[in-house]
Structure 1
Amino acid sequence: MAFKTILAVIGPHMSDDDLKLAADLCDEIGAHLAVLAVAIAAPPPVGEYAAIVSEDWLKERQLDETLLKKRVTAVSAFLAGRALSADVSSEYPEVGGADERIGRRARYADITVIGPELLAGETLKGKVIEGALFSSGKPLLIVPSGSRATLKPKRVLVAWDARLEASRAVRESLEMLIGADQVRLVMVDPVEDEYHHGQEPGADAAAYLARHRVKVMIDRLPSSNHSIADVLRQHAIDIAADLMVMGAYGHSRLRERIFGGVTRSMLEEQSLPILMAR
């Protein structure tokens, strides 16, 4: 699909680096930039000390709200200096509901972008990722430090496991895949049967892409006692990929957290921009 609105989420203490990255992506494809400034509120005090600390808690909230307003004003000034269609809004949720609030805003964009500065954080990063993937129905683009952000990639690695999530990621990135010089449909230890990858792993997916004029090749790789995530990362380096496309959370978040998973590993260590969809 075409990306006409890009959502960038920023915190009150962040610089303009991630904002500039998102603005450059909008310039690249002629998209509207929606900026959401988010501060996560501390939960209200409870228990026997609540009365003592409540005044400090209220002061903290007032300070947070003041900083958030200042950040919105600064972002508005930044956007006014760019020849760019844009808007800015803010949210001040408590930690328990932050992902839902962010996800609700992301429903009105085509893709959410997370830049290196947000990735370097913890709480807000996690809430943006969960909100985008589980509460928006839209894809997420993760851009790690040291990589080049683009929505017009020349070489794309598609991590294909024949799951619904992978199919969704392909559909969401289809316009980029059509415009790429080379798309590698990559499977790690593919299973050859009708319930998994089919009698010829990747053939159906490649045929679907080829009908959309995607220049696609199939790579079937052995894991050789390495994790799937490590195999995908290394192959992306080997083919000089500009972007990886993959489905996110084929299992529940709880199972991924307990047992690990490709999504979790990719979120913890990125080597190139990754488009995820669920």
Structure 2
Amino acid sequence: MEYRSILVHLDGSERASACLDLALLVARQHGAHLNALFAPVTTDHESAWSVSFDTGYRERTREDTRRALEHQFLNGLSQANLKGTWRTAMKHAQQELLALSPFADLIVVGQSDPHDPDASLSNRLQVQVTLAAGRPVLWAPYVGTFPTVGERIVVAWDAGQSATRALYDALPFMQLAGHTTIVTLNAEREGRIPGADIALVLARHRIDVEITHLHTPPTVSVADALLSRVDKLGSDLLVMGAYGHARWKELVLGGVTQTVLGSMPVPVMMSH
């Protein structure tokens, strides 16, 4: 597998520019075609906004944001000698994003700023795409700048279905990485030395990895321990399975997945 077609969702928030920068960086690394979808999330309080303020204010703000992001997108393509496509969808962001997902090798979304009044709706869209698109999703943190991604990788591994899919979806990153660490979780699930079998498989792909085991005391959650290991190793990409639970009319994240996505220090690539 190679990342030849990348889809980035730009929601019009203040962090959309950083999300686009991350997508352009990954596209340059892999020589990929980059599709950008500008699709602001429709908020529940939009009608209240229009009553309190000029009805055209939000539309003008969105149009200014769209123009700035499209200029950044086209300029980034030109500088990197890449090809790409720009799309705009002012309504039904989730529907548009899921419709384009089958044609992407990788989807890039931005973590919502918890202080943004629209954050809950944006998070809902990002979670739904991660759990329902069937494609690997790279999350860009809402804070920080990331001059590199995928040079030092941590892969969370428990030999489960989602972790397995995430690991194989991340092969293009690992093949270019300077260092990859497999952090084993729930090691008792594996019959032999934890991580040994998957390390052997990766060696056949000419990928050398380091294996480390995560042992968490009762007072420390698995998610917190994993994020601490990412920080200790100086990693610039975390790869893990996205675990979710089906509930009436929606999909919701599992505990570890939700914690990681709520406080990610580096970009996180997830598969479900």
| TM-score bracket for the superposition, by shorter chain length | 0.7 to 0.9
Helix, strand or coil at the partner of 2:187: coil
Percent of pairs identical after alignment? 28
Displacement after TM superposition at 1:167 (Å): 0.6
**After superposition, what is the alpha-carbon deviation per residue over 1:228-265, rounded to whole angstroms, capped at 9, x for unaligned?**
1111111112222221110001544789969x511011
Q: Name the structure 2 match of 1:26.
A: 27
Which of residues 145, 148, 155 is equivalent to 2:146?
A: 148
Which of residues 239, 260, 267 is equivalent to 2:261?
A: 267
Q: Name the structure 2 match of 1:109.
A: 104
Does the alignment pair 1:41 with 2:42? Answer: yes
The question of whether the paired residues in 1 share the 8 Å contact of 2:131 and 2:244 is answered with no
Unaligned 5+ runs, structure 2: none
Which of residues 75, 83, 86 is equivalent to 2:84?
A: 86
The question of whether the paired residues in 2 share the 8 Å contact of 1:169 and 1:247 is answered with yes
Distance 2:191 2:247 in 1: 27
My pick for the range that moved more, 167-176 or 22-31, is 22-31
**After superposition, what is the alpha-carbon deviation per residue over 1:108-165, rounded to whole angstroms, capped at 9, x for unaligned?**
22212234676764145314422431232111112222252544x2321110011110
Distance 1:79 1:217 in 2: 37
The question of whether the paired residues in 2 share the 8 Å contact of 1:9 and 1:128 is answered with no
Distance 1:146 1:8 in 2: 18
Distance 1:203 1:159 in 2: 14
Which of residues 87, 92, 99 is equivalent to 2:94?
A: 99
The question of whether the paired residues in 1 share the 8 Å contact of 2:187 and 2:194 is answered with yes
Which of residues 174, 182, 206 is equivalent to 2:199?
A: 206
Relative to the length of structure 1, the TM-score reads: 0.78
The question of whether the paired residues in 2 share the 8 Å contact of 1:68 and 1:90 is answered with no
Displacement after TM superposition at 1:169 (Å): 0.4
Distance 1:9 1:111 in 2: 11
Q: How does 1:57-76 map to 2 (within 5 A)?
A: 68=62, 71-76=65-70
Displacement after TM superposition at 1:209 (Å): 1.1
The question of whether the paired residues in 2 share the 8 Å contact of 1:139 and 1:172 is answered with yes
Helix, strand or coil at the partner of 2:234: coil
Q: Name the structure 2 match of 1:4.
A: 4
Does the C-alpha gap of structure 1 residues 85 and 224 become closer, same or farther in structure 2, counting only changes over 3 Å?
same
Which of residues 173, 176, 186 is equivalent to 1:179?
A: 176
Does the alignment pair 1:163 with 2:160? Answer: yes
My pick for the range that moved more, 159-168 or 201-210, is 201-210
Does the alignment pair 1:216 with 2:209? Answer: yes
Displacement after TM superposition at 1:41 (Å): 3.4
**After superposition, what is the alpha-carbon deviation per residue over 1:12-57, rounded to whole angstroms, capped at 9, x for unaligned?**
4546333233223323332222111113335699xxxx9xx9x96x
Distance 1:74 1:159 in 2: 37
Structure number with larger C-alpha Rg = 1
The question of whether the paired residues in 2 share the 8 Å contact of 1:129 and 1:140 is answered with no
What is the root-mean-square deviation of aligned Cα atoms in Å? 3.3
Does the C-alpha gap of structure 1 residues 206 and 5 become closer, same or farther in structure 2, counting only changes over 3 Å?
same
Letter in 2 for 1:236: V
Which of residues 230, 238, 242 is equivalent to 1:248?
A: 242
Distance 2:242 2:227 in 1: 15
The question of whether the paired residues in 1 share the 8 Å contact of 2:155 and 2:180 is answered with yes
My pick for the range that moved more, 27-36 or 118-127, is 118-127
The question of whether the paired residues in 2 share the 8 Å contact of 1:140 and 1:275 is answered with yes
Letter in 2 for 1:114: V
Letter in 2 for 1:23: L
Q: Name the structure 1 match of 2:126.
A: 129
